[in-house]
Chains A and B, each alone.
Chain A
Amino acid sequence: MSLFSVARFAAVLVKEFIQMKRDRVTFGMMIGIPIMQLVLFGFAINNDPHDLPTMIEMNDASPTARAVLAGMEVSEYFQFVGVVTGQEDGDRALRDGRANFVVVIPPGFERDIIRGLAPQVLIAADASDPTAVSSAVGALQGILDVAVKQSLTGPLQAVAGSPAPFSVVVHKQFNPEGETATNIVPGLLAIILSMTMVMITAVAIVRESERGTMETLIATPVRPLEVMLGKILPYVFVGYVQTIVFLIAAQVLFAVPFTGSRLAFFVGFNLYIVVNLALGFLISTVARTQMQAMQISFFTLLPTILLSGFMFPFAGMPGWAQTIGSAIPATHFLRLVRKVMLKSADMADISGDMAAIAIILAVITTVSLLRYRQTLD
């Protein structure tokens, strides 16, 4: 009686692949989910939106006023969709959503500039969606300064320096264009792998006991290790396929760069796959049915999306939420991938993240082995 039989392990492996092949829906999901999410999140989510509908209340027809509007339009943050007459009209436009911004050019705008009176351009913004308007507002002062400055030529050049002859410099590092996709896409790999690996592993293991086939299986001479490896390896393979699909799509669709060490990525990515499989295995020791396994997997998915720093900046979360977030493998893998893909990181740069994932892995493995022993009988 050998302790580990390659033949039996291979039998489980082959069986698992046949079952995977036959379950078309799940198989399609495993390949389809990464592409779908990539396209959805990559194209649809934009934290730096452009072409926001804007309306104007124009009380000064001077060249400077027109230069201001032209400057705003050229910036691509604003799209002028109409004019309003008076404050009431402007408020209504904001309220019913026809405009995110209303720009009010005061009467005698150019004249007051020349006189050095520092006239105010009022921008009323719909701040109920702060993400939508914040970057446009942030860019506004700079746009206006440049526009005003450029319009004051010839004899008026003298006053150009006086009001606020500076433009705000927004220096967006690693993502100079402020492309959301460049930030979202690498993070998405962490979410996709977590979502499919955890759920599919948990379901595949629970399926054996739910359908009763586990009884036949353990009545044969097969060893637990052969079963576990045989069942889990196919999903490691799936994780590889997903990642390859993902990397190609990230490159082709979003031109996300890959600047760091490939070795660092490979090592980190394998560690992350293992930790997710371990989590799926842990769930399978708790769940009695495939439905429960799905539900528990989804339960872990929400914090993974919300608290890992994928959706919202990690630094912006309160301390307790950061603590929870730190216990989630995706949090660390997310940082790892962003570092490697965008910041040219190598092994040394990601060692902290790797250590964190390794600790989580150790804890999950310990707990699930303890649970597995209890459920054998």
Chain B
Amino acid sequence: MTDAPAIRVTGLTKRFGDRTVVDNFDMEVPKGAIYGFLGPNGSGKTTTIRMMCGLLTPDDGTGSCLGYDIRSESAAIKANVGYMTQKFSLYEDLTIRENLDFMARMYGLKNRKAVVTDTLTELGLLDRATQLAGTLSGGWKQRLALAACLQHDPRLLLLDEPTAGVDPKARRDFWDEIRRLSRKGVTVLVSTHYMDEAIQCDHIAYIAYGKKLISARAQDIPAQIGLTTWRVDGPDLTPLEDELLALPGVEQVARFGAALHVSGTDKAALDKVVAAQKARKTHSWQEKPAELEEAFIYLMATAVDNFAGSTA
């Protein structure tokens, strides 16, 4: 049983009216993994996560979460999953302690008072326990929300864009915490927009228009996309960037420090461009293996906002 995946869903489909929000979706999340769930706005990430923890009933497809059936055993799933919503959804008119206490009661925790006090101490909020949750800043709200869904020691964490609207320092702290939990054996499924967060994940699934485009271990993603990348060093990179983008075969030009990374999926076309550029001898060109960064920029750039696209 130890090697059974934390989540395994097949053919998951959800329709709202005549719009198919999630379409025949398969996914397998290994136990203990940090699994990144990527995709543009409106691509169906939230709906998928909600189906996995039994908040929504799928129109089609089957699946299990922590070994429980997502259709018939949602009560057992809920008791063992920590779900953090996209928007802060604790009670703003309750104090920090009251919120934690409420959640502890919901999960029927033993030694409730001690658990809540421990959580407050860990958060460093013990002296602010009587402050209303609504008065906290974005970063603190996020920490509180995470703490609230960790109190019952869930085996699986579902985080829906947990770091939206949170400052970089708080985001870094947040990810330190996620990795610490992962080391303890907690499986984490996290949806995100941010590339720097996606890089921290062991596995990635990429979804657009409710369909899964890619899912693989993070290091295998660039190869799957099939990007060829060249590194360009030299002076006056900005005009060169504009010039390159207009050429056939160049699909992406990204600045990395003092260099440009030029990528494309059509190797032959890109090679022609590079040969011509090399002949000018103004810059140094070096082929490099495409990395996760380029792959994500590529994925993010090619996908449009799915809300806008769906009406077309």
Contacts and interface: CB of A to CB of B under 8 A. Distances in A.
Interface of A: 1, 5, 7-8, 10-11, 14-15, 18-19, 22-23, 211-222, 377
A220 B105 CA distance: 10
Contact of A10 (B90, B94, B105): B105
Interface string B79-102: 101010101111111100010001
B75 A221 contact: yes
Contact of A221 (B57, B78, B88): B78
B76 A1 contact: yes
A8 B106 contact: yes
B90 A221 contact: no
Contact of A211 (B57, B83, B92): B92
Interface in B48-98: 53, 55-57, 75-76, 78-79, 81, 83, 85, 87-94, 98
Given A10-B105, A377-B57, 11 more contacts: A1-B79, A18-B98, A19-B93, A22-B94, A213-B89, A214-B89, A215-B89, A216-B89, A216-B103, A219-B78, A220-B106
Contacts of B87: 212
Interface in B198-245: none
A214 B83 CA distance: 13
Interface of B: 53, 55-57, 75-76, 78-79, 81, 83, 85, 87-94, 98, 102-103, 105-108
A22 B94 CA distance: 8
A212 B106 contact: no
What are the 3 closest A-B residue pairs judged by CB atoms, nearest first?
Answer: A11-B105, A220-B106, A212-B89
A221 B108 contact: yes
Nearest to A22: B93
User: What's the dominant secondary structure at chain A's contact region?
Assistant: helix
Contacts of B79: 1, 221
A151 B75 CA distance: 90
Contact of B106 (A1, A11, A22, A214): A11
Contacts of A219: 53, 55, 78, 81, 83, 85
B142 to A, nearest CB: 14
Of B55, B81, B90, B106, most A-chain CB atoms within 10 Å: B106
Nearest to A212: B89
Contacts of A220: 78, 103, 106-107
Contact of A15 (B57, B91, B92, B107): B91
A107 B205 CA distance: 106
Contacts of B78: 219-221
B76 A222 contact: no
A12 B93 CA distance: 14
Contacts of A377: 56-57
A7 B91 contact: no
Nearest to B92: A211
A213 B108 CA distance: 19
A81 to B, nearest CB: 56
A20 to B, nearest CB: 10
A211 B108 CA distance: 24
B94 A15 contact: yes
A165 to B, nearest CB: 73
B56 A213 contact: no
B102 A211 contact: no
B94 A216 contact: no
B228 to A, nearest CB: 43
B94 to A, nearest CB: 6
13 contacts: A15-B94, A19-B91, A22-B93, A23-B93, A211-B89, A212-B87, A212-B88, A217-B106, A219-B81, A221-B75, A221-B79, A221-B106, A221-B107
B93 A11 contact: no
Contacts of B88: 212
Contacts of B91: 15, 19, 211, 213
A213 B89 CA distance: 4
B105 A8 contact: yes
Contacts of A14: 102, 105
B79 to A, nearest CB: 5
A23 B75 CA distance: 32
A220 B106 CA distance: 6
Given A215-B85, A220-B78, A15 B55 contact: no
Contacts of B107: 220-221
A5 B108 contact: yes
B89 A15 contact: no
A234 B300 CA distance: 49
A11 B91 CA distance: 13
Given A212-B85, A215-B89, A219-B53, A19 B94 contact: yes
Contacts of B55: 215, 218-219
A203 to B, nearest CB: 13
A23 B108 CA distance: 27
A19 B98 CA distance: 10
Contacts of A23: 93
A218 B91 CA distance: 14
B54 to A, nearest CB: 9
B94 A11 contact: no
Contacts of A7: 105, 108
A372 to B, nearest CB: 15
Contacts of A218: 55
Nearest to A220: B106
Given A23-B93, A213-B90, A222 B98 contact: no
Contacts of B53: 219
Nearest to A218: B55
Nearest to A5: B108
A122 B107 CA distance: 82
